[in-house]
DNA sequence: GATGTCAAGGGGAGTG
DNA sequence: CACTCCCCTTGACATC
């Protein structure tokens, strides 16, 4: 078996360079397994991480060598009585590189990594499982952040719409009051003049025609403005408006939308008119 | 001592 | 049925 035959399909180029190095001193190795362990990993075994605070890490092979000699790759190697140790920096770095190539571990790649790093295949599989779990957790955090930002944006938009809605309602209320006040005064004037003309018909008939002529045709042809909900009273009969049930609450959102002529400034998407 | 991280144990489910 | 994956948990260790 060549030093880099099967492994070339699984490891990045930089990693392959590491794998090739040990071939130069095969005669010093006690097993084929060791021939695939990067030279820089040999001397890094047990080296503490950059913090310098953590104690020396272990390698699975070392543990197994101590436990059961040449059976260092056996998955059923018992670790009973063994304490858990962290993988060293170089082992983790190599596993990370391999993980970037694919987060699912094929049996061949697992064997290659186990051989290269001096770990049991079971350890490599477990590392990938835990790594996938960590990746998923981080992905969930990212997704949560995205959703939260979207929610905040929509919430702000909703608040702006509600503020605008309130402003429009106020304007309509003022206009409705003004209209009613004007119509009421017109009615009073009309009644006064009508009564006066009846009592003084014989005396001042010319004023009647004058007063009536001041009343517009439109006002005379329409019934007095009823006290209506704001939006019902001003809503035009727009066939394009979505159908709203007759017993819909007064001032419902749909009615409000129909009563607003130009809302383009309040919709973030350009084709809001298709949003029904 | 509390807390976080990580390797590993173990069970359930899916698959060929 | 062996194998793998996912999920939850445990135990060791590091850090504060």
- Cα dist. A27→A30, A40, A138, A189 in Å? 8, 17, 45, 120
Residue A145 is classified by DSSP as: H
The yes-or-no verdict on residue A107 having pLDDT over 50 is yes
Residue A159 has pLDDT above 90, yes or no: yes
User: Which nucleotide has its C1' atom closest to residue A91's CA?
Assistant: B7
The gap between A18 CA and B10 C1' (Å) is 36
**Which bases of strand C have any atom within 7 Å of the beta carbon of a protein residue?**
3-8, 11-15
Q: What is the pTM of this model?
A: 0.52
In angstroms, rounded to a whole number, what is the distance separating the alpha carbons of residues A88 and A83? 15
pLDDT at res. A126: 93
Query: What is the structure's pLDDT at A127?
Result: 94
| The nucleotide closest to A58 (CA, C1' atoms) | B7
pLDDT digits (tens, 9 = 90+) for A31-74: 333 333 333 333 333 333 333 333 344 444 333 333 333 333 44
Residues A16 and A98 sit within 8 Å (Cβ to Cβ): no
For residue A95, pLDDT beyond 90: yes
**Å from A125 (CA) to C4 (C1')?**
10
Asked if pLDDT for residue A238 goes beyond 90, the answer is no
C1'-nearest nucleotide to the CA of A82: C12
Residue A48 has which token pair?
A: 């503490």
N- to C-terminal Cα separation, chain A: 68
Categorize the per-residue pLDDT at A182 as very low, low, confident or very high, splitting at 50, 70 and 90. Answer: confident
A 104-143, residues with C-beta < 7 Å of strand B: 122-123, 126-127, 129-130, 134
Which range of A22-36, A115-129, A233-247 scores highest in mean pLDDT? It is A115-129
- Asked whether the beta carbons of A119 and A59 are under 8 A apart, the reply is yes
**Collapsing DSSP states into helix, strand and coil, what is residue A192?**
helix
Q: Is the pLDDT of residue A8 over 80?
A: no
Return mean pLDDT, chain A. 58
Q: What percent of chain A lies above the pLDDT cut of 90?
A: 25
SS3 A82: coil
Asked if A16 and A7 touch (Cβ cutoff 8 Å), the reply is yes
Low-confidence winner among A28-32, A150-154, A179-183 (lowest mean pLDDT) = A28-32
CB count within 10 Å of CB A69 equals 8
Give the pLDDT band of residue A272 (cuts 50, 70, 90). Answer: very low
DSSP element (H, E) containing A174: helix A121-199
Reduce the DSSP state of residue A260 to 3 states and report it: coil
List bases in chain B with any atom under 7 Å of a protein Cβ: 6-10
pLDDT value at residue A82: 57
SS3 of residue A254 by DSSP: helix
Nucleotide nearest to A134 in CA–C1' terms = B6
For nucleotide C13, give the residue with the nearest CA to its C1': A85
Quote the pLDDT of residue A70.
32
Q: What is the pLDDT of residues A185-204, one digit of tens each?
A: 887 777 766 665 544 444 44
């Amino acid at each position: 078996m060549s030093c880099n035959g099967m492994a070339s399909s699984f490891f990045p180029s930089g990693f392959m360079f590491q794998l090739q190095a040990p071939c130069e001193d095969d005669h010093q190795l006690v097993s084929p397994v060791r021939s695939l362990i990067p030279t820089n990993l040999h001397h890094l075994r047990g080296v503490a991480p950059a913090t310098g605070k953590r104690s020396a890490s272990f390698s699975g092979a070392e543990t197994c060598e101590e436990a059961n000699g040449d059976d260092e790759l056996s998955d059923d190697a018992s670790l009973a009585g063994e304490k858990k140790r962290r993988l060293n920096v170089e082992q983790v770095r190599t596993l990370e590189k391999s993980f970037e190539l694919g987060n699912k571990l094929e049996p061949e790649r697992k064997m290659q990594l186990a051989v290269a790093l001096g770990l049991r295949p079971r350890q490599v599989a477990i590392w990938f499982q835990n790594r996938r779990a960590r990746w998923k957790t981080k992905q969930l955090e990212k997704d949560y952040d995205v959703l939260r930002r979207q929610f905040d944006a929509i919430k702000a938009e909703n608040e702006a719409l509600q503020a605008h809605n309130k402003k429009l309602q106020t304007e309509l209320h003022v206009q409705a009051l003004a209209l009613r006040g004007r119509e009421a005064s017109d009615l009073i004037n009309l009644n006064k003049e009508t009564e006066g003309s009846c009592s003084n018909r014989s005396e001042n008939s010319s004023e009647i025609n004058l007063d009536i002529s001041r009343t517009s045709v439109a006002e005379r042809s329409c019934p007095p403005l009823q006290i209506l909900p704001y939006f019902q009273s001003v809503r035009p009969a727009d066939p394009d408006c979505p159908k709203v049930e007759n017993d819909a609450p007064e001032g419902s959102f749909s009615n409000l939308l129909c009563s607003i002529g130009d809302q383009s400034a309040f919709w973030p998407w350009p084709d809001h008119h298709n949003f029904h």
